[in-house]
Amino acid sequence: MPSLPSSSCLVSVLPEMSEELTELYRRGTPANTLRAWERDLVYIRAWKQLTFGTDMTWPEEERVALRFLLDHSTALHDPAHPAQGVALALIGLGLRRSLACPAPATLDRRIASWRSFHRMRNLASPFDAPAVSAARSKARRAADRPRKPKSAKPVTREVLETLLATCDYTARGIRDRAMLMLAFASGGRRRSEVTALDIEDVGADDYKTKGVIWLRLLETKTTTRALAPRLPLKGRAANALLDWLKVRPAGPGPLFRPVSTADRVLARRLAPDALRVILRHRLTQAGLPVDYASPHGLRAGFLTQAALDGVPLAAAMKLSLHSSAVQAQRYYADVEVEMNPATELLG
C-alpha cells in the first residue's frame, strides 16, 4: 500500500488562494474538530486505497460512498466477506479496532467529515445522493443499539466527596482538588475545556464582595470565541481554586499545570487528556475501579445531582451549556423515573 498522503491541504481552489483558505478553515474550526477531521481523512484515504487502489477524488463517486457505507454497516467476521481483507489491513495500520460493526456514531462522524471536505471545495457530497442517503437511513436503523453512556457512572456529589478526600495539601493534591471541583461546580466542564483555561480566564474581582469567581470559556463544543460564556464559581469550589492560585507560580499562561514527582509546579500546559489521568488516579486512591467513571462522569454527575436536588433543567443548562434540552433531559429522566410515585403502587 502506498504511503498515506498528507492531510495538510483540505481546500482545492485556485492555487493562489488555497493556502490562505486552508489557514482560514483551520483558524475558524475548533481544535477538537480539526483533530477529528485529520483522523477521519487518514482513515478514509487508507480505506479507499485498500479498496479501490486509488486516492480520494473530488467530488467522490456515488459508488465509492455506497461501498464505504456498506462496508461499515455490518460485522466482517465472515472470511468470505469481500471487505474483511481491507478491514484487517486497517486494523494492522492501527486505524480500526476490530471486525465488529462500527458504532453508528462513528460512521456518522466519518461521513460528516467527508461531507465537510466536499463543502470546503464547494462540491456536492455523494452522501446526499438519494440512493446513498436512503441506504444510510436503513443502515442506521439496522445497526441501532442501546445508547452507551460516555461514563460508566455519573460522578455525583457523594462520589466527588470520596475523590476529594484523597487530595492532600501537596501541590498535586491542591491542583487535583481544584480541577475536580471546578469541572463539577461550573456545570460539568469537558476535560478539554478545563485544561484549556488560562490564568487570564479567571476573574476574582467579585470574590471579596460576592464570593464569586468568574470563569471565561473562550471556546467550547457549543459556543465560539465571539460568544464566550462567563460562568460563576462559588463556595468550596471557589476556595479550592484560590488555594491552587497560591501554589501556582505567578504570571500568564495555563491555569492548571503539571506537577513534578518532587511536587514542583511546572510551566507547561497539561495535556488535553490530563483530567482523565487525574480522575483515574483519584479513583484508585479512593479504592474504586479505574473504570468506575470517566471525565464525562463529572458532566453527567452535575446534571444528575441537579435533578436529585430539584434544580430546574433550564437553570442547570445555563451552566452546563447544553445546546439541546433533549440531551440534557436524559439525565433528569433517569432520576424522575426512579422517583416516580407510580413505581410504588404495590408498596
Could you give the C-alpha distances from 259 to 244, 266, 288, 294, 317, in angstroms and in order?
12, 6, 23, 21, 33
The DSSP secondary structure of 251-300, one letter per residue, reads SSSBSS--B-TTS-B-SSPPPTTHHHHHHHHHHHHTT--TTS--THHHHH
Q: From residue 92, how far is each of 22, 38, 39, 89, 96 by CA, in Å?
A: 31, 19, 16, 5, 8
Sign of the alpha-carbon torsion through 312, 228, 40, 130: positive
- Point out which residues pair with 215 in neighbouring strands: 202, 231
pLDDT (tens digit, 9 = 90+) per residue, 154-190? 899 999 999 999 999 999 999 999 999 999 999 989 8
The tens digit of pLDDT for each residue in 97-118 reads 899 888 888 888 899 999 888 8
Please identify which residue in the block is written with the cell numbers 478526600. Answer: 165
Q: Is 157 exposed, middle or buried (0-12, 13-18, 19+ CB in 10 A)?
A: middle
Q: Show the low-confidence residues of the chain (pLDDT under 50).
A: 1-13
pLDDT digit string, tens, across residues 142-157: 766 666 666 678 899 9
Q: What is the pLDDT of residues 254-282, one digit of tens each?
A: 999 999 999 999 989 998 889 999 999 99
* Torsion sign over Cα 184, 189, 192, 193: negative
pLDDT the model gives residue 27: 74
Walk me through the domains of the chain, giving residue ranges and CATH numbers. 15-142 (1.10.150.130), 157-199+243-341 (1.10.443.10)
Query: Given this model, what pLDDT does residue 234 score?
Result: 92
Distance CA 30, CA 21 (A): 16
Q: Which runs of consecutive H residues, i.e. helices, occur in the chain?
A: 15-27, 31-52, 62-71, 84-92, 104-120, 130-142, 157-164, 171-185, 191-195, 207-210, 235-247, 274-285, 296-308, 313-320, 325-338
Instruction: DSSP letter for 234, please.
Output: E
